[in-house]
Amino acid sequence: MSAFENATKFFHACESLQGWAGCQQFVAPGAGFEAQCEPLEGVDTVEAYCEWMAGLGKGPLNGCSYALNTSAYDDANNTALFFGTFTGRHVADGGPVPPTNRETNADYVYALTMNADGKVQKMRKIWNAPWTLRELGWA
């Protein structure tokens, strides 16, 4: 399986809320995670991010979905890019406030650096979190 195929499978497993159990086969041990947004402060491994995402989607944003808008692979930098849109409505307990029934359609990008074995070595999420939090009524 090519690195891009592996990255694509990881993307779909993560976004379909499979958590670490469904994502770990596509990820190198100890893979790091970075994001420049407040909700993900302290999340520094891909494993922790996968679990965070699953908790969000099976908790306050139960029934959420995603659409993959486009993807690409840069062979020179061993990096896969995925541009998606996350749709979620705050319908259940577990958020920072009681359920608001407000919806977000949040654009984001995953940048996945792949290692020599074709597994995710590092993940970066580019996301306008303040926009999302305002749409949900959380800020």
Fold of 3-136: Nuclear Transport Factor 2; Chain: A, (3.10.450)
What would the DSSP string read from start to end of 27-59? EEEEEEEEE-SGGGTT--BHHHHHHHHHHHHHT
Looking at 36-135, which runs of residues are DSSP E strands? 65-74, 79-89, 103-114, 120-127
pLDDT of residue 1: 80
- Residue 18 contacts residue 54 (beta carbons within 8 Å): yes
- For position 5, what pLDDT does the model report? 98
Beta bridge partner(s), residue 85:
67, 107
Q: Which two tokens stand for residue 8?
A: 């694509």
pLDDT of residue 96: 92
Total-model pTM: 0.96
The pLDDT averaged over each successive group of 10 residues in the chain (139 residues) is 96 98 98 97 98 96 97 98 98 94 98 98 98 96
Sheet strands side by side (includes 103-114)? 27-35, 120-127, 103-114, 79-89, 65-74
Which of 108, 112, 137 is CA-nearest to residue 124?
A: 112
The angle, 0 to 180 degrees and rounded to 10, between the axes of the packed helices 46-58 and 3-15 is 40
